[in-house]
Structure 1
Amino acid sequence: MNQTASIPVAEEDRLRADLYNFLGLILSGPPDQMLLDQCAALEGDNTDLGQGFVSLSKLAHQSKPKGVETEYNRLFIGLGRGELLPYASYYLTGFLNEKPLALLRQDMVARGLERADNVFEPEDNIASLMEMMGAMIAGRFNSAATLEQQKTFFNKHIAPWAGHFFSDLEGAKNSVFFAPIGKIGRAFMDVEAEAYRLSVH
Protein backbone atom coordinates (compact mmCIF):
# COMPACT_ATOMS: atom_id res chain seq x y z
CA MET A 1 0.00 0.00 0.00
CA ASN A 2 1.41 3.36 -0.97
CA GLN A 3 1.38 5.61 2.06
CA THR A 4 2.40 9.22 1.90
CA ALA A 5 3.55 10.91 5.06
CA SER A 6 0.89 13.38 6.01
CA ILE A 7 1.37 16.38 8.24
CA PRO A 8 -0.72 16.06 11.41
CA VAL A 9 -3.62 18.52 11.48
CA ALA A 10 -3.53 21.01 14.37
CA GLU A 11 -6.35 20.76 16.91
CA GLU A 12 -7.69 24.20 15.99
CA ASP A 13 -7.81 23.20 12.32
CA ARG A 14 -9.51 19.92 13.19
CA LEU A 15 -12.22 21.89 14.99
CA ARG A 16 -12.61 24.19 11.97
CA ALA A 17 -12.88 21.16 9.69
CA ASP A 18 -15.48 19.63 12.05
CA LEU A 19 -17.61 22.78 11.89
CA TYR A 20 -17.41 22.90 8.09
CA ASN A 21 -18.36 19.22 7.96
CA PHE A 22 -21.25 19.77 10.39
CA LEU A 23 -22.64 22.62 8.26
CA GLY A 24 -22.20 20.49 5.14
CA LEU A 25 -24.02 17.56 6.72
CA ILE A 26 -26.94 19.50 8.18
CA LEU A 27 -27.51 21.44 4.95
CA SER A 28 -27.26 18.39 2.67
CA GLY A 29 -30.62 16.95 3.71
CA PRO A 30 -33.14 16.86 6.57
CA PRO A 31 -31.42 15.71 9.81
CA ASP A 32 -32.40 12.34 11.27
CA GLN A 33 -33.00 11.70 14.98
CA MET A 34 -29.33 10.89 15.59
CA LEU A 35 -28.21 14.24 14.16
CA LEU A 36 -30.93 16.05 16.12
CA ASP A 37 -29.65 14.35 19.29
CA GLN A 38 -26.12 15.50 18.46
CA CYS A 39 -27.40 19.06 17.94
CA ALA A 40 -29.25 18.90 21.26
CA ALA A 41 -25.96 18.10 23.02
CA LEU A 42 -24.19 21.20 21.65
CA GLU A 43 -23.09 23.97 23.99
CA GLY A 44 -22.14 27.57 23.31
CA ASP A 45 -20.76 30.75 24.82
CA ASN A 46 -21.57 34.46 24.55
CA THR A 47 -20.14 34.93 21.06
CA ASP A 48 -22.44 35.13 18.04
CA LEU A 49 -21.27 31.65 17.06
CA GLY A 50 -21.80 30.30 20.57
CA GLN A 51 -25.29 31.78 20.81
CA GLY A 52 -26.16 30.05 17.54
CA PHE A 53 -25.19 26.71 19.11
CA VAL A 54 -27.25 27.46 22.26
CA SER A 55 -30.35 28.24 20.14
CA LEU A 56 -29.81 25.19 17.94
CA SER A 57 -29.47 22.92 20.98
CA LYS A 58 -32.77 24.19 22.45
CA LEU A 59 -34.61 23.74 19.15
CA ALA A 60 -33.13 20.29 18.57
CA HIS A 61 -34.49 19.20 21.97
CA GLN A 62 -37.99 20.20 20.87
CA SER A 63 -37.85 19.06 17.24
CA LYS A 64 -38.89 15.83 15.55
CA PRO A 65 -37.36 14.65 12.26
CA LYS A 66 -40.70 14.95 10.42
CA GLY A 67 -41.17 18.61 11.35
CA VAL A 68 -37.60 19.51 10.45
CA GLU A 69 -37.97 17.67 7.13
CA THR A 70 -41.05 19.76 6.30
CA GLU A 71 -39.10 22.93 7.10
CA TYR A 72 -36.11 21.77 5.03
CA ASN A 73 -38.36 21.08 2.04
CA ARG A 74 -40.03 24.50 2.29
CA LEU A 75 -36.67 26.22 2.48
CA PHE A 76 -34.74 24.34 -0.18
CA ILE A 77 -37.10 22.27 -2.34
CA GLY A 78 -40.67 23.61 -2.32
CA LEU A 79 -43.15 23.28 -5.15
CA GLY A 80 -41.03 24.19 -8.13
CA ARG A 81 -38.39 25.73 -5.87
CA GLY A 82 -37.82 26.43 -2.22
CA GLU A 83 -37.59 29.78 -0.48
CA LEU A 84 -33.79 29.76 -0.89
CA LEU A 85 -31.54 28.57 -3.72
CA PRO A 86 -28.28 27.63 -1.96
CA TYR A 87 -25.94 27.82 -4.96
CA ALA A 88 -22.96 30.07 -5.63
CA SER A 89 -24.01 30.56 -9.28
CA TYR A 90 -27.45 31.79 -8.25
CA TYR A 91 -26.15 34.15 -5.56
CA LEU A 92 -23.43 35.60 -7.78
CA THR A 93 -25.17 35.73 -11.18
CA GLY A 94 -28.90 35.25 -10.54
CA PHE A 95 -28.89 31.99 -12.53
CA LEU A 96 -28.03 28.35 -11.85
CA ASN A 97 -25.14 26.48 -13.52
CA GLU A 98 -23.22 29.61 -14.46
CA LYS A 99 -19.52 30.57 -14.49
CA PRO A 100 -18.97 30.15 -10.70
CA LEU A 101 -19.86 26.45 -11.10
CA ALA A 102 -17.48 26.02 -14.05
CA LEU A 103 -14.64 27.68 -12.09
CA LEU A 104 -15.35 25.48 -9.08
CA ARG A 105 -15.25 22.33 -11.23
CA GLN A 106 -11.83 23.34 -12.58
CA ASP A 107 -10.52 23.79 -9.04
CA MET A 108 -12.07 20.50 -7.91
CA VAL A 109 -10.22 18.65 -10.69
CA ALA A 110 -6.99 20.42 -9.74
CA ARG A 111 -7.40 19.37 -6.09
CA GLY A 112 -8.55 15.82 -6.86
CA LEU A 113 -12.07 16.45 -5.49
CA GLU A 114 -14.96 14.60 -7.12
CA ARG A 115 -18.71 14.75 -6.78
CA ALA A 116 -20.05 11.59 -5.13
CA ASP A 117 -21.91 9.26 -7.50
CA ASN A 118 -25.11 9.52 -5.47
CA VAL A 119 -25.14 13.35 -5.49
CA PHE A 120 -27.03 15.01 -8.32
CA GLU A 121 -26.97 18.60 -7.09
CA PRO A 122 -24.62 21.06 -8.82
CA GLU A 123 -21.32 21.13 -6.94
CA ASP A 124 -21.61 24.83 -6.06
CA ASN A 125 -24.34 24.22 -3.47
CA ILE A 126 -23.54 25.39 0.07
CA ALA A 127 -23.48 21.88 1.60
CA SER A 128 -20.93 20.60 -0.93
CA LEU A 129 -18.70 23.65 -0.51
CA MET A 130 -18.72 23.31 3.28
CA GLU A 131 -17.80 19.63 2.93
CA MET A 132 -15.01 20.42 0.45
CA MET A 133 -13.55 23.02 2.78
CA GLY A 134 -13.68 20.61 5.72
CA ALA A 135 -12.03 17.89 3.64
CA MET A 136 -9.26 20.23 2.47
CA ILE A 137 -8.46 21.37 6.02
CA ALA A 138 -8.46 17.83 7.46
CA GLY A 139 -6.71 16.29 4.44
CA ARG A 140 -9.49 13.75 3.93
CA PHE A 141 -8.93 13.19 0.19
CA ASN A 142 -5.20 13.82 -0.06
CA SER A 143 -2.75 15.81 1.99
CA ALA A 144 -4.20 18.66 4.03
CA ALA A 145 -4.34 21.92 2.12
CA THR A 146 -1.90 24.62 3.17
CA LEU A 147 -3.30 27.78 4.73
CA GLU A 148 -2.63 29.59 1.46
CA GLN A 149 -4.56 26.96 -0.56
CA GLN A 150 -7.45 27.12 1.92
CA LYS A 151 -7.49 30.91 1.73
CA THR A 152 -7.50 30.89 -2.08
CA PHE A 153 -10.37 28.39 -2.25
CA PHE A 154 -12.36 30.21 0.45
CA ASN A 155 -11.91 33.65 -1.10
CA LYS A 156 -12.79 32.41 -4.58
CA HIS A 157 -15.72 30.06 -3.96
CA ILE A 158 -17.16 30.79 -0.50
CA ALA A 159 -16.44 34.33 0.71
CA PRO A 160 -18.28 36.14 -2.13
CA TRP A 161 -21.68 34.67 -1.22
CA ALA A 162 -21.83 32.24 1.73
CA GLY A 163 -22.26 34.94 4.39
CA HIS A 164 -25.15 36.39 2.40
CA PHE A 165 -26.75 32.95 2.06
CA PHE A 166 -26.42 32.23 5.80
CA SER A 167 -27.97 35.64 6.62
CA ASP A 168 -30.86 34.79 4.30
CA LEU A 169 -31.24 31.40 6.00
CA GLU A 170 -31.27 33.06 9.42
CA GLY A 171 -34.05 35.43 8.36
CA ALA A 172 -36.07 33.22 5.98
CA LYS A 173 -39.77 33.14 6.73
CA ASN A 174 -39.79 29.32 6.85
CA SER A 175 -36.69 29.14 9.06
CA VAL A 176 -37.21 27.91 12.62
CA PHE A 177 -34.81 25.01 13.24
CA PHE A 178 -32.55 26.29 10.46
CA ALA A 179 -32.44 29.92 11.70
CA PRO A 180 -29.66 29.25 14.25
CA ILE A 181 -27.79 27.25 11.58
CA GLY A 182 -27.88 30.45 9.52
CA LYS A 183 -26.53 32.36 12.53
CA ILE A 184 -23.76 29.78 13.11
CA GLY A 185 -22.81 29.80 9.42
CA ARG A 186 -22.81 33.60 9.16
CA ALA A 187 -20.69 34.01 12.32
CA PHE A 188 -18.29 31.25 11.23
CA MET A 189 -17.83 32.80 7.77
CA ASP A 190 -16.98 36.12 9.46
CA VAL A 191 -14.41 34.42 11.71
CA GLU A 192 -12.86 32.57 8.78
CA ALA A 193 -12.74 35.63 6.53
CA GLU A 194 -11.03 37.64 9.28
CA ALA A 195 -8.55 34.85 10.04
CA TYR A 196 -7.61 34.55 6.36
CA ARG A 197 -7.36 38.33 6.07
CA LEU A 198 -4.90 38.44 8.97
CA SER A 199 -2.88 35.43 7.80
CA VAL A 200 0.42 36.24 6.18
CA HIS A 201 1.86 34.41 3.20
Structure 2
Amino acid sequence: MSSIGADASALPDEEILRAQAYGLLAGLLSRAPDADALTALAAIEGAAIEGDGSALGAAYAALGAAARAATPRGVAEEFDALFIGVGGGELTPFGSYYRTGFLHEKPLAELRGDMARLGIERAEGIAESEDHVAALCEMMAGLITGDFDAPADLDEQRAFFGRHIEPWAPRFFADLEGSPTARFYRAVGTLGRRFMDVEGQAFALAV
Protein backbone atom coordinates (compact mmCIF):
# COMPACT_ATOMS: atom_id res chain seq x y z
CA MET A 1 0.00 0.00 0.00
CA SER A 2 1.30 3.47 -0.69
CA SER A 3 0.85 6.25 1.80
CA ILE A 4 0.84 10.02 1.84
CA GLY A 5 2.69 10.27 5.14
CA ALA A 6 1.82 12.28 8.23
CA ASP A 7 3.33 13.29 11.54
CA ALA A 8 2.13 10.79 14.15
CA SER A 9 4.18 12.28 16.99
CA ALA A 10 1.09 13.78 18.64
CA LEU A 11 -0.64 10.43 19.00
CA PRO A 12 -1.05 8.93 22.48
CA ASP A 13 1.44 6.21 23.35
CA GLU A 14 -1.23 3.52 23.27
CA GLU A 15 -2.15 4.44 19.70
CA ILE A 16 1.49 4.29 18.62
CA LEU A 17 1.78 0.84 20.24
CA ARG A 18 -1.32 -0.34 18.38
CA ALA A 19 0.09 0.89 15.10
CA GLN A 20 3.41 -0.79 15.83
CA ALA A 21 1.66 -4.10 16.54
CA TYR A 22 -0.19 -3.94 13.23
CA GLY A 23 3.04 -2.97 11.48
CA LEU A 24 4.91 -5.87 13.06
CA LEU A 25 2.27 -8.36 11.93
CA ALA A 26 2.21 -6.82 8.45
CA GLY A 27 5.96 -7.21 8.09
CA LEU A 28 6.09 -10.79 9.34
CA LEU A 29 3.22 -11.88 7.12
CA SER A 30 4.45 -10.20 3.95
CA ARG A 31 7.94 -11.71 3.98
CA ALA A 32 10.13 -13.97 6.09
CA PRO A 33 12.29 -11.97 8.54
CA ASP A 34 15.98 -11.82 7.66
CA ALA A 35 18.86 -12.11 10.13
CA ASP A 36 18.63 -8.45 11.20
CA ALA A 37 14.89 -8.70 11.76
CA LEU A 38 15.26 -11.88 13.80
CA THR A 39 17.92 -10.18 15.93
CA ALA A 40 15.56 -7.28 16.59
CA LEU A 41 12.71 -9.63 17.46
CA ALA A 42 14.96 -11.63 19.77
CA ALA A 43 15.50 -8.47 21.82
CA ILE A 44 11.79 -8.28 22.67
CA GLU A 45 12.45 -10.31 25.82
CA GLY A 46 11.56 -8.05 28.72
CA ALA A 47 12.14 -4.88 26.70
CA ALA A 48 8.76 -3.34 25.98
CA ILE A 49 6.65 -5.67 28.11
CA GLU A 50 8.56 -5.96 31.37
CA GLY A 51 6.04 -6.55 34.13
CA ASP A 52 3.22 -7.13 31.65
CA GLY A 53 1.42 -10.25 32.82
CA SER A 54 -1.26 -10.08 30.14
CA ALA A 55 -1.88 -12.73 27.52
CA LEU A 56 -0.74 -10.26 24.86
CA GLY A 57 2.46 -9.54 26.78
CA ALA A 58 3.12 -13.27 27.02
CA ALA A 59 2.61 -13.57 23.26
CA TYR A 60 5.23 -10.88 22.62
CA ALA A 61 7.64 -12.72 24.93
CA ALA A 62 6.97 -15.99 23.10
CA LEU A 63 7.69 -14.30 19.78
CA GLY A 64 11.03 -13.12 21.14
CA ALA A 65 11.84 -16.65 22.29
CA ALA A 66 10.86 -18.06 18.90
CA ALA A 67 13.14 -15.56 17.17
CA ARG A 68 16.05 -16.54 19.38
CA ALA A 69 15.55 -20.19 18.44
CA ALA A 70 15.13 -19.51 14.70
CA THR A 71 17.51 -19.21 11.78
CA PRO A 72 16.92 -17.05 8.69
CA ARG A 73 17.02 -20.08 6.41
CA GLY A 74 14.66 -22.09 8.58
CA VAL A 75 12.15 -19.24 8.82
CA ALA A 76 12.33 -18.63 5.06
CA GLU A 77 11.58 -22.30 4.38
CA GLU A 78 8.73 -22.21 6.88
CA PHE A 79 7.27 -19.06 5.30
CA ASP A 80 7.40 -20.68 1.88
CA ALA A 81 5.67 -23.85 3.08
CA LEU A 82 2.97 -21.92 4.92
CA PHE A 83 2.13 -19.20 2.41
CA ILE A 84 3.68 -19.88 -1.00
CA GLY A 85 4.65 -23.47 -1.83
CA VAL A 86 4.29 -25.25 -5.15
CA GLY A 87 0.70 -24.64 -6.15
CA GLY A 88 -0.02 -22.71 -2.95
CA GLY A 89 0.98 -22.84 0.68
CA GLU A 90 -0.72 -24.54 3.57
CA LEU A 91 -2.67 -21.37 4.42
CA THR A 92 -4.38 -18.87 2.12
CA PRO A 93 -4.19 -15.53 3.97
CA PHE A 94 -6.84 -13.60 2.04
CA GLY A 95 -10.10 -12.24 3.35
CA SER A 96 -12.17 -13.31 0.35
CA TYR A 97 -10.94 -16.89 0.65
CA TYR A 98 -11.67 -17.14 4.37
CA ARG A 99 -15.08 -15.55 4.02
CA THR A 100 -16.33 -17.15 0.79
CA GLY A 101 -14.00 -20.04 -0.03
CA PHE A 102 -12.82 -18.27 -3.19
CA LEU A 103 -10.33 -15.53 -4.07
CA HIS A 104 -11.32 -12.15 -5.57
CA GLU A 105 -14.90 -12.24 -4.34
CA LYS A 106 -17.29 -9.61 -2.94
CA PRO A 107 -15.24 -8.90 0.25
CA LEU A 108 -12.34 -7.74 -1.95
CA ALA A 109 -14.62 -5.45 -3.99
CA GLU A 110 -15.99 -3.94 -0.77
CA LEU A 111 -12.46 -3.42 0.54
CA ARG A 112 -11.43 -1.65 -2.65
CA GLY A 113 -14.40 0.67 -2.30
CA ASP A 114 -13.36 1.62 1.23
CA MET A 115 -9.75 2.04 0.13
CA ALA A 116 -10.80 4.52 -2.55
CA ARG A 117 -12.90 6.45 -0.06
CA LEU A 118 -10.06 6.59 2.49
CA GLY A 119 -7.35 7.51 0.00
CA ILE A 120 -5.45 4.21 0.31
CA GLU A 121 -3.69 3.29 -2.91
CA ARG A 122 -2.35 -0.08 -3.96
CA ALA A 123 1.45 -0.01 -4.15
CA GLU A 124 3.09 -0.84 -7.46
CA GLY A 125 4.81 -4.19 -7.83
CA ILE A 126 2.62 -6.05 -5.32
CA ALA A 127 1.24 -9.29 -6.73
CA GLU A 128 -1.14 -10.17 -3.89
CA SER A 129 -4.66 -8.75 -3.78
CA GLU A 130 -5.44 -6.07 -1.25
CA ASP A 131 -7.29 -8.40 1.12
CA HIS A 132 -4.06 -10.18 2.09
CA VAL A 133 -3.78 -10.18 5.89
CA ALA A 134 -0.46 -8.32 5.75
CA ALA A 135 -1.95 -5.56 3.60
CA LEU A 136 -4.93 -5.17 5.91
CA CYS A 137 -2.66 -4.90 8.96
CA GLU A 138 -0.63 -2.26 7.12
CA MET A 139 -3.82 -0.37 6.32
CA MET A 140 -4.93 -0.40 9.95
CA ALA A 141 -1.54 0.90 11.04
CA GLY A 142 -1.83 3.70 8.50
CA LEU A 143 -5.34 4.62 9.61
CA ILE A 144 -4.09 4.92 13.21
CA THR A 145 -1.04 7.03 12.37
CA GLY A 146 -2.53 9.06 9.53
CA ASP A 147 -0.32 7.70 6.77
CA PHE A 148 -3.15 8.04 4.26
CA ASP A 149 -4.43 11.41 5.48
CA ALA A 150 -5.12 12.64 9.00
CA PRO A 151 -5.34 9.85 11.62
CA ALA A 152 -8.73 8.15 11.31
CA ASP A 153 -11.06 8.63 14.24
CA LEU A 154 -12.11 5.70 16.39
CA ASP A 155 -15.41 5.21 14.56
CA GLU A 156 -13.63 4.94 11.21
CA GLN A 157 -11.07 2.52 12.63
CA ARG A 158 -13.83 0.42 14.20
CA ALA A 159 -15.76 0.32 10.95
CA PHE A 160 -12.74 -0.75 8.91
CA PHE A 161 -11.77 -3.40 11.45
CA GLY A 162 -15.34 -4.68 11.67
CA ARG A 163 -15.85 -4.88 7.90
CA HIS A 164 -12.53 -6.22 6.71
CA ILE A 165 -10.51 -7.80 9.55
CA GLU A 166 -12.66 -9.06 12.42
CA PRO A 167 -14.85 -11.39 10.30
CA TRP A 168 -11.91 -13.62 9.37
CA ALA A 169 -8.44 -12.61 10.63
CA PRO A 170 -8.89 -14.19 14.10
CA ARG A 171 -9.62 -17.52 12.40
CA PHE A 172 -6.58 -17.14 10.16
CA PHE A 173 -4.30 -16.45 13.14
CA ALA A 174 -5.78 -19.41 15.02
CA ASP A 175 -5.10 -21.61 11.98
CA LEU A 176 -1.53 -20.32 11.82
CA GLU A 177 -1.08 -20.93 15.54
CA GLY A 178 -2.29 -24.51 15.15
CA SER A 179 -0.45 -25.34 11.93
CA PRO A 180 1.71 -28.49 12.11
CA THR A 181 4.18 -26.75 9.78
CA ALA A 182 4.60 -23.64 11.91
CA ARG A 183 7.45 -23.28 14.37
CA PHE A 184 8.50 -19.62 14.42
CA TYR A 185 5.18 -18.67 12.86
CA ARG A 186 3.23 -20.43 15.59
CA ALA A 187 4.29 -17.55 17.84
CA VAL A 188 3.20 -15.07 15.16
CA GLY A 189 -0.19 -16.77 15.08
CA THR A 190 -0.54 -16.52 18.85
CA LEU A 191 0.41 -12.85 18.84
CA GLY A 192 -2.00 -12.09 16.02
CA ARG A 193 -4.88 -13.98 17.60
CA ARG A 194 -4.45 -12.32 20.98
CA PHE A 195 -3.99 -8.87 19.45
CA MET A 196 -7.17 -9.33 17.41
CA ASP A 197 -8.97 -10.26 20.64
CA VAL A 198 -7.71 -7.10 22.35
CA GLU A 199 -8.69 -4.91 19.41
CA GLY A 200 -12.16 -6.43 19.15
CA GLN A 201 -12.81 -6.03 22.86
CA ALA A 202 -11.53 -2.45 22.88
CA PHE A 203 -13.71 -1.43 19.94
CA ALA A 204 -16.74 -3.09 21.56
CA LEU A 205 -16.19 -1.22 24.82
CA ALA A 206 -15.69 2.08 23.06
CA VAL A 207 -19.15 2.05 21.45
Q: TM-score band, normalised by the shorter chain?
A: over 0.9
2:172 alignment partner, SS class: helix
Residue of structure 2 equivalent to 1:109: 116
2:184 alignment partner, SS class: coil
Contact 1:7 1:143 in 2 (8 A): no
Contact 1:30 1:69 in 2 (8 A): yes
Residue of structure 2 equivalent to 1:156: 163
- 1:50, CA displacement in angstroms? 1.6
Residue of structure 2 equivalent to 1:75: 82
Distance 1:69 1:7 in 2: 34
Higher relative contact order (CA 8 A, sep 6+): 2
- 1:5, CA displacement in angstroms? 9.3
Aligned residue pair count: 197
Residue of structure 1 equivalent to 2:38: 36
Residue of structure 2 equivalent to 1:10: 12
TM-score (norm 2): 0.91
Gaps of 5+ in 2: 1-5
Amino acid in structure 2 at the alignment position of 1:34: D
In structure 2, the CA distance between the partners of 1:145 and 1:162, relative to structure 1 (3 Å rule), is: same
Distance 2:65 2:197 in 1: 24
Residue of structure 2 equivalent to 1:118: 125
Amino acid in structure 2 at the alignment position of 1:32: D
> Residue 23 of structure 1 is aligned with which of 7, 22, 25?
25
Distance 2:16 2:133 in 1: 20
TM-score (norm 1): 0.94
The answer to whether the aligner puts 1:87 opposite 2:94 as a matched pair is: yes
- 1:132, CA displacement in angstroms? 0.2
Distance 2:187 2:7 in 1: 39
Residue of structure 1 equivalent to 2:178: 171
Contact 1:6 1:143 in 2 (8 A): no
Distance 1:30 1:51 in 2: 22
In structure 2, the CA distance between the partners of 1:10 and 1:67, relative to structure 1 (3 Å rule), is: same
The answer to whether the aligner puts 1:181 opposite 2:188 as a matched pair is: yes
Residue of structure 1 equivalent to 2:3: none
In structure 2, the CA distance between the partners of 1:172 and 1:49, relative to structure 1 (3 Å rule), is: same
TM alignment of 1:50-69, pairs within 5 A: 50-69=57-76
The answer to whether the aligner puts 1:190 opposite 2:192 as a matched pair is: no
- 1:193, CA displacement in angstroms? 0.4
Gaps of 5+ in 1: none
In structure 2, the CA distance between the partners of 1:30 and 1:6, relative to structure 1 (3 Å rule), is: closer
1:178 alignment partner, SS class: helix
Contact 1:139 1:145 in 2 (8 A): yes
2:183 alignment partner, SS class: coil
RMSD: 1.5
2:194 alignment partner, SS class: helix
